[in-house]
Amino acid sequence: MRYFLAGFALLVVLVVSVAGFRGGLSRKPPIEIFPDMDRQAKVRPQTADGFFANGLGSRLPVAGTVARGAPFADTPLNTGREPGTTNYVAAMPVAVSAEMLARGQERYTIHCSPCHGGQGDAKGITTKFGMAVIGNLHDARIVQLADGELFNTITNGKNLMQGYGPNIDIADRWAIIAYVRALQLSRLATLDEVPAELRASLTK
Amino acid sequence: MSDIFPKWTNRLPALVLTGAALVGTAAVAGAWYYFTPKYSRVGYQPIQPVAFSHNIHVDQLGLDCRYCHNGVEKAWYSNVPSSTLCMNCHNQVLKEDARLALVRESAASGTPIPWVQVHKVPDFVYFNHSVHVNRGISCVHCHGQVNQMDEVRHAQPLSMSFCLECHRHPELKIRPVDKVYDLNWQAESETQQIAEGKRLMQEWNVQSLDNCSACHR
């Protein structure tokens, strides 16, 4: 019995020391104990797939085609340009509302503020880590740009800023522009434009 | 005749029973402890091709999850960002750094970085990110404190019982939608969480989904 107990204790210690405890670090993929139908022969997004020559499961659109539901029409809404020309539209082709501005603020905070800063003055956090060139959205030149040109900058990027077209929906891009315009106005307003009863609080 | 079975054999049945009980308990305890996703999945932390740190990018820089995982509110699938997105910053920050060589190469050539996927449910499970994050379920409940991880690790078992635990009592977890991406957020107290959770469930008409067809369809 003593030998059995010793052997048993040894076995338990051995299993625990090899297998470790729950939550322990493991570099190897989890073992699937009963891999019933866990992995099926279908393509999941962003995975490798041996079927295609370049090994990518997700396919790029064939040249000259448009995905279902993707915007393609040559309208100011989709391109920021006057149809048939390369001229930027001066004013945004969508109506501005309080909800849209709130949405624009949220999206601006996610996608733009890391570089351009919460106030648009190019003092985002990345400037502390070596982002040297960032456009200041309160620059007189940028204030005067057409809305359509801002749309184009967000979609396709400009110089050192890369495009955010694939990341931000069209409606959200216009909402961001509306919010950027509001930010710019906030620095251009004069005291006369402030409601009379609030003026005192600013001049104090 | 008394020599055929020596005296110690009188204890044999007791010994065999004790031994069997010990081995049986150990086998059951071992299976219970080891043969579950709490052991097999939690702690999985593959070596990624690029030493990307959520701690630096989320906690230190304050990036929102949606800056990179921008599909998470719109689709079932939460995408891993393309290398061109990294280059938005890294064309100026750490421009020449060797740790980012693969990112630059991938952005230039268009071949994706071979990130190793950490979280994976079986293919017969229907899962959807957007229903959860738009109903006040934060990333932290299913992925742990990613914002503090230098390397992503599997923090929750993602087993069926894990999913059901929350589906039966969403009020313990549900939070205002604007706090979903703030992984450090916590309600002030448990009672407040439950009160607020109940209110949000009512407001959004959230159901407690534990019928099989919710996740197996």
Q: What is the pLDDT of residue B164?
A: 95
Structurally, chain A folds into a number of domains equal to: 1
pLDDT at B90: 93
Chain A residues within an 8 Å CB radius of B87 = 162
Least confident segment among A27-31, B22-26, B61-65, B80-84: A27-31
When pLDDT is cut at 50, 70 and 90, the band that residue A106 belongs to is: very high
If phi > 0 it is left, if psi is from -120 to 50 it is alpha, else beta; for residue B182 that is: beta
- Does A4 map to a domain? no
**pLDDT of A85:** 85
What local confidence, expressed as pLDDT, does residue B180 receive? 93
pTM recorded for the entire structure: 0.92
CA distance A170 to chain B (A): 14
Q: Considering only CB atoms, which chain B residues are within 8 Å of A167? A: 70, 85
| Residue-level pLDDT at A180 | 95
Contact B61 A56 (CB under 8 A): no
Q: What are the domain boundaries of chain B?
A: 7-35, 48-62+71-79+119-214, 81-114
Residue given tokens 């210690």 in the structure block = A13
What is the predicted pLDDT for the residue at B145? 94
Residue B73 pLDDT grade (very low, low, confident, very high; cuts 50, 70, 90)? very high
Q: Above pLDDT 90, what percent of chain A?
A: 36
Q: Which phi and psi angles does A114 have, rounded to 5°?
A: -55, -30
Tokens at residue A46, please?
């962003």
Residues on chain B touching A162 (C-beta within 8 angstroms): 84, 87-88, 91
Residue B2, pLDDT score:
61
pLDDT at position B1, please?
A: 54
Q: By the 8 A CB rule, do A191 and A199 touch?
A: yes
Using a CB-CB cut-off of 8 Å, the residues of chain A touching B72 are none
A vs B: CB pairs below 8 A = 104
Q: Which residues of A touch B154 (CB under 8 A)?
A: 30
Residue B35 pLDDT = 87
Rounded CA separation A133/A135 (Å): 7
Of A23, A28, A132, the CB nearest to B92: A132
Decide if B64 and A132 are in contact by the 8 Å CB cutoff.
Answer: no
* Contact in structure between B147 and B59 (CB atoms under 8 Å): yes
Closest Cα of chain A to B175: distance in Å?
Answer: 18
CATH number of the CATH domain containing A148: 1.10.760.10
pLDDT, position B103: 94
A-chain CB neighbours of B47 within 8 Å are 27
Of the candidates A90, A135, A95, A132, which has an alpha carbon nearest to the alpha carbon of residue A112? A135
Q: Is A27 among the domain residues?
A: no
Residue B109 has pLDDT above 80, yes or no: yes
Contact yes or no for A167 and B70 at CB 8 A: yes
A53-62, B94-103, B136-145, B200-209: least confidently modelled range: A53-62
Query: What pLDDT shows up at residue B79?
Result: 92
Contact A25 B77 (CB under 8 A): no
* pLDDT at residue A204, rounded to an integer: 62
CA dihedral B67, B68, B71, B77 (to 10 degrees): -150
On average, the pLDDT of chain A sits at 88
| pLDDT for B77 beyond 70 | yes
Comparing A96-100, A101-105, A183-187, the range with the smallest average pLDDT is A183-187
Asked if residue A133 has pLDDT above 60, the reply is yes
Indicate if the pLDDT at residue B101 is higher than 90. yes
- Report residue A38's pLDDT band, with 50, 70 and 90 as the boundaries: confident
Question: Do B62 and A24 lie within an 8 Å CB cutoff?
Answer: no
The tokens describing A24, both together, are 């322990």
Model ipTM value: 0.86
Tens-digit pLDDT profile for residues B29-46 = 999 998 888 888 999 999
Pick from A17, A46, A131 the residue to mutate for testing the B interface (most B CBs within 10 Å).
A46
User: Which amino acid is present at B136?
Assistant: G
From the list A23, A44, A160, which residue is nearest B91 (CB)? Answer: A160
Is residue A73 within 8 Å of residue A170, measured between CB atoms? no
* Touching B: A residues 86-145, CB under 8 Å: 109-111, 114-115, 125-126, 129-133
